Chain A
């Protein structure tokens, strides 16, 4: 899941108007941002699920970044970094958005998310496996994108109306959220960029 996370963040922005959008977007991708260097270093890996390929067809061995405790620690670290710049409320919101990544991934991942970092203790791995039904997981992602873009646009339009300027920019920003999300989902589903 990629696009769905950003759709969720756009929805959060519609409720937390004071929280910078770029920080919300970075927060929602934070676990995957940390995953990238660990993947390049060979510490976290991907493999094709048996009989599956393409969208949602991977078993992801992100045993540190996507373990329950690892995700909580990374989310807390993101919130702590935000605290000095934007205060307690935004820090809490951003930490929760960062952790929302793990919750949304829990729905789609194929039972590959450990509880403790490094799968310490070999506890049961988590994941409801919605990726086994690609049409269903695509639909969930699309719903997050559309709902997030709509809620964001509605909040942006109200803020612009209250300020007496920015209505056109609000419309542009709303359309950007919608078409950006649909583009990312389409690229993810088709594997056009690899």
Chain B
């Protein structure tokens, strides 16, 4: 149960909070782009 809670907490909730931050685009460090 702790593992499932942790996955929900960090993957879902953490991911949602993180999406609102001004990070570079996922492909921004690809060579030649």
Contact = CB atoms under 8 A, between A and B. Distances in A.
Given A159-B23, A163-B22, A188-B2, A29 B15 contact: no
Contact of B11 (A22, A192, A194): A22
Interface centre among A22, A88, A156 (most CB of B within 10 A): A22
Nearest to A29: B7
Contacts, number: 107
A25 B26 contact: no
A170 to B, nearest CB: 6
Nearest to A162: B22
Given A22-B18, A159-B21, A177-B14, A184 B26 contact: no
Contacts of A183: 9
A124 interface: no
Determine the main DSSP class of B at the interface with A.
helix
B1 A193 contact: yes
A176 B30 contact: no
A74 interface: no
A21 B5 contact: no
A26 B21 contact: no
Interface in B1-33: 1-7, 9-31, 33
Contacts of A165: 22
Contact of B22 (A16, A32, A166): A166
A78 B18 CA distance: 21
A189 B17 CA distance: 26
A113 B17 CA distance: 35
Pick the 7 closest A-B CB pairs, nearest first: A22-B15, A163-B22, A21-B18, A193-B1, A25-B10, A86-B26, A87-B30
